Amino acid sequence: MRDQRSYFERADFESDFPPQFLVSIVGVTIVLLELGFAQWPFFYGAAPVLSLIFIYYMNIYHEKYIPVFVIFLMGIVGDVLLSDLLGGRATAFLLLTYVMQHRLARLQQSDFGWLWLDFSVSCAAISLFQLLLFSALNLAIPSLSPILFQLGATLILFPIGFVIIFTVYRLLQKVKIV
């Protein structure tokens, strides 16, 4: 009789690749969702940076499921679709991740209020970084009010995004096959 053992070997449930793949799809979808929000006249030229909330949360609590390539991909897709400076958003996201990695242990033990404050500073730093790059490369200063509005909208949506991602994670935990 033919040896059928290889057909019934247990699948590798411990692999990080499937959740990483899922996270990359969710990440790109969030970037597309941002573009959807941009179609609201209220958010004209200043849609909240939902992808930043996602990256921030994932970097703190599920770092191993969000490879740097996914962060790069989310930044580049945003740059291409928003026609921003190609690579500007991706560089900002990657630099934020780099800085966060050095403070990860402290952030993981912080309460929500502190995280919100830290996110506010990070978000402002990213906006400033992009503004400086844009001004240097275009030799022009764009209108600041949309940038500030975008910053404010992102900060306001941070707790909501945080709760949604947390809830989705808890739901996924429940359906996880052990």
Partner 1 sequence: MRVSDKARIRQRRIIHGVLIFLSFSLMFLGKADLSALRNIRMGSSDFLAPFIDFVSAPIRGIETMVEGVRTVASLRAENVRLQGENDLLKRWRRRAEILESENRQLRSVTGAAAVKNRIQITARAVTAPGGGFAHTVLIAIGGEEGIVRGNPVVTADGLVGIVIDVGRAYARVLMISDINARIPVILSSSSWPGLSVGQNGQFLDLQFLPDEATPKIGELVLTSGHGGVLPNGLAVGRVDQIKDGKIRVRPAVDLRNLSYVSVLTGGLDGIDNSNLDLADFYTPLPIDDTTRLLEGLNSSGQRR
Under the rule (CB under 8 A), what is the footprint of partner 1?
A: 29, 32-41, 43-47, 67-69, 71-72, 75-77, 80-88, 90-91, 94-95, 97-98, 130-131, 133-134, 137-138, 140, 142-147, 150
Cβ atoms 36, 43 nearer than 8 A: no
Instruction: Kindly write down the DSSP assignment for every residue of 93-158, as one continuous string.
Output: HHHHHHHHHHTHHHHHTS-HHHHHHHHHHHHHHHHHHHHHHHHHHHSS---HHHHHHHHHHHHHHH
Q: Supply the minimum distance, in Å, between the C-beta of residue 149 and partner 1.
A: 8
In the complex with partner 1, the residue whose CB is nearer, 57 or 88, is 88
Q: Supply the minimum distance, in Å, between the C-beta of residue 119 and partner 1.
A: 18
Residue 11's region, left for phi above 0, alpha for psi from -120 to 50, else beta, is beta
Q: Supply the minimum distance, in Å, between the C-beta of residue 150 and partner 1.
A: 6
In the complex with partner 1, the residue whose CB is nearer, 67 or 159, is 67
In the complex with partner 1, the residue whose CB is nearer, 117 or 128, is 128
In the complex with partner 1, the residue whose CB is nearer, 50 or 115, is 50
Q: Supply the minimum distance, in Å, between the C-beta of residue 44 and partner 1.
A: 4
Q: In whole angstroms, what is the distance from residue 67 CA to residue 74 CA?
A: 11
